[in-house]
Amino acid sequence: MDQAQNLAPISTHAPVPTGSFMPVTEMVAQVGHIQAVMRAVMKSDEHYGTIPGCGDKPTLLKPGAEKLAMTFRLAPEYDILERDLGGGHREYRVTARLVSILTGVFVGAGVGLCSTMEGKYRFRTGEGEVTSVPVPKAYWDTRKSDAAAAARILRTTANAAGLEGTKFGTKKDDSGRWMISTHGERVEHDNPADYYNTVLKMAKKRALVDAVLTSTAASDIFTQDVEDMPEVIPGAAATVQPAQQKAQAAPKKAPVQPQANQPPTASSAQLAMLRNEGTRARLDEASIVALARQMTGDDSIESLEQLTKPEASQLIEGIKSGALLHGQPSANDQMGDMPAGF
């Protein structure tokens, strides 16, 4: 008799073998335990963070992922794949495997990718010069309702003061006062190798957070949207002017009071989320700035740091929903064969 005839057919409706699933009571207990750890041990903005304009679900950060891994006695093991992208650029793909410290059993895995081709590592914004021309009050009064008109006010004020050009921005001088600034151009970092270690650590961090969220089933409690808040990269967003360096070395002065009617600028958490959403949408920093100009109608915007809090929230939502991305070239389109993220 053919051996195949002795095999019982597999029923798609067969019951799941007893013991192959987690009882509901254990699942509830695990979720409750994560929430208890979050309340008792974790601190907001250190182990997790909530980003304005991006919902109420907290984002799990690397220190928080490490705390959860310790809670469940999980040890990470990393597999690193390095790829040369040409031109001195490099990509790291990291797989984080979590195993039980108590039993050595494999529990789950996560992946992370980062490369020096990402906009925040590949490019920096050339610093525009801070002038001695104060930003007029009319600019702040007009910017919310008519950004294009506000840009014209800057241009008119700058030209009247003898400054040539059509594009101007706003920056603080070394005394903390808002002044009109000249336009800075985007330039490439001249040595991608300066960021090899940074992007490797970033890929490792992304993989760890992904692995912890997957292995502990904590994605309903946390998100990974901004687990890669930007590290301090010298010159990535702005470089320090010599005058500012002298001011930093000099004795501290009394804090300058905010100018009247000056709107609050975007927070560091908002800017981190904005850059992360841009990375997910495969947009480099210059493309995000271009979207900001398009959204506000303000051609004087040179960097994301110039956005107000409401503008940053609106831009985050626009990129996240895709509403602002129609016809916008991606970083891949601009950079050629740049590897896509995940």
pLDDT tens, residue by residue, 111-140? 999 999 998 888 876 677 888 899 998 888
CA dihedral 297, 301, 303, 308 (to 10 degrees): -70
Structure tokens at 235: 């010159």
**pLDDT, mean of residues 62-90:** 93
Element (H, E) at 155: helix 147-160
- Residue 277 covered by a domain: no
- Residue 160 covered by a domain: yes
Higher pLDDT, 156 or 40: 156
**DSSP letter, residue 326:** T
- Residue 174 covered by a domain: yes
State the residue range of the domain holding 152: 128-183
pLDDT at residue 340, as a whole number:
37
Bridge partners (DSSP) of residue 98 are 76, 108
- Residue 157 covered by a domain: yes
Cβ proximity of 71 and 302 under 8 Å: no
**DSSP letter, residue 29:** H
Q: Indicate the pLDDT class of residue 19, thresholds 50, 70 and 90.
A: low
Whether the predicted pLDDT of 69 surpasses 50: yes
Which residues have a Cβ under 8 Å from the Cβ of 58 and sit 6 or more positions away? 44, 48, 49, 50, 221, 222, 223
Higher pLDDT, 201 or 328: 201
- Distance (Å, whole) CA 190 – CA 55: 38
- Residue 143 covered by a domain: yes
- Residue 167 covered by a domain: yes
Element (H, E) at 108: strand 106-115
pLDDT at residue 18, as a whole number:
53
From the list 10, 6, 58, the residue with the least C-alpha distance to 37 is 58
- Residue 98 covered by a domain: no
What is the number of other CB atoms lying within 10 angstroms of the CB of residue 255? 7
- Distance (Å, whole) CA 114 – CA 223: 19
Q: How many domains does the chain have?
A: 1
**pLDDT, mean of residues 66-75:** 91
Whether the predicted pLDDT of 11 surpasses 70: no
Note the pTM of the prediction, 2 decimals: 0.48
Q: Exposed, middle or buried: residue 194 (CB in 10 Å: 0-12, 13-18, 19+)? A: middle
For residue 234, the SS3 value is coil
Whether the predicted pLDDT of 186 surpasses 70: yes
